[in-house]
Amino acid sequence: MFSLASVATMTACIFIFGVLFSVILNVDSLRKDIEEKVGVTVFFDESIDDGRVGEIGEEIRSLPHVTDVTFTSAEEAWETYKKEHFASNPSLAEGFKENPLANSASYTVFVDRVEVQSETVEKIRAIEGVRQVNQSSGAVKNLMGFNRAFTYVSAVIIVILLIVSVVLIANVISVGITTRKEEIAIMKLIGATDAFVRAPFIVEGLMLGLLGTLLPLGILFIAYNWLLGRLLERFGFLGDMRASLLDAGSVFSMLVPIGLVLGVGVGLFGAWITVKKHLDV
Instruction: Give the fold, CATH level 3, of 39-135.
Output: Alpha-Beta Plaits (3.30.70)
* Residue type at 246 in one-letter notation: L
Question: Could you state, in order of their start, the residue ranges of all structural domains in the chain?
Answer: 2-34+155-278, 39-135
Candidates 69, 15, 74; CA nearest to 44 is 74
pLDDT digits (tens, 9 = 90+) for 32-87: 776 666 778 888 887 777 788 888 888 888 888 888 888 888 777 767 666 666 66
Predicted TM-score (pTM) of this structure: 0.61
CA angle, 3 then 9 then 14, to 5°: 120
Query: What pLDDT was estimated at residue 138?
Result: 62
Residue spans of the chain under pLDDT 50: 237, 281
pLDDT digits (tens, 9 = 90+) for 249-268: 888 888 888 888 888 887 77
| Strand segments (E) across the chain | 40-44, 66-72, 106-111, 130-134
CA angle, 69 then 75 then 79, to 5°: 100
